[in-house]
Structure 1
């Protein structure tokens, strides 16, 4: 599991370095995640160490959302007159997110020949 955490941290640091060096307007964590995804796609699988480290982090995933929620709580007065636009953005974004996830999963299952069903 320690090796899995090391891989996660290394990809995070690589993403941060790329973001700082090339001034990319994307979070270093997102860049690292994209690089790790590409690496795993090229490699064709995931190691047991990385899988166990990732599984342990899923249980605390909600903690990653908390800073954004707290930020919205303290700036809620700025959105007072725009509740309809905020609600539409939240509903539309959620709908598009679910729709794209379902589409992607159907493609993955179809390409994988239905493995895992």
Structure 2
């Protein structure tokens, strides 16, 4: 049952992201908005609930499979991306660096709190 509770956490934040995108009209994925809100919530709480960890762990193992359809889809629109390689490379580099630094920051913050206890 803990995994079901954690899955409800994930689905709830995804739906909150859907609502935010619907009413704001931002050109961002609702999943990204939901995960940013979830990350903010976890940073405020200072820990990851066991139920959320139980639901997320199997999904992390399947992450490559979840990303694969989007990666394969890029091959079908290569002609449309032909003149935009500099912007794509810049976005990939910046996105990767921000993702790594954010992950490291969150990890050190959460690990620091758990070692202090």
Quickly name the TM-score band, shorter chain normalised: 0.7 to 0.9
- Show structure 1 runs of 5+ residues with no match: none
- Greater Cα radius of gyration, structure 1 or 2: 1
Question: What residue is the counterpart of 2:89 in the other structure?
Answer: 89
Q: How far is 1:35 from its partner?
A: 0.7
The number of residues matched between the two structures is: 111
Instruction: Say if 1:69 and 1:9 are closer, same or farther in 2 by CA, change over 3 A.
Output: same
Instruction: Say if 1:29 and 1:74 are closer, same or farther in 2 by CA, change over 3 A.
Output: same
Q: How far is 1:41 from its partner?
A: 0.9
Question: What residue is the counterpart of 1:42 in the other structure?
Answer: 44
Question: What residue is the counterpart of 1:101 in the other structure?
Answer: 100
- What's the TM-score once normalised by structure 2's chain length? 0.72
CA RMSD after TM alignment: 3.2
- Show structure 2 runs of 5+ residues with no match: none
Q: Which moved more, 1:98-107 or 1:40-49?
A: 98-107
Q: How far is 1:96 from its partner?
A: 6.9
Partner of residue 63 from structure 2, selected from 52, 61, 64 = 61
In 1, Cα distance between equivalents of 2:37 and 2:14? 9
- What's the TM-score once normalised by structure 1's chain length? 0.72
In 1, Cα distance between equivalents of 2:101 and 2:107? 10
Asked if structure 1 preserves the Cα contact closer than 8 Å seen for 2:43 and 2:106, the reply is no
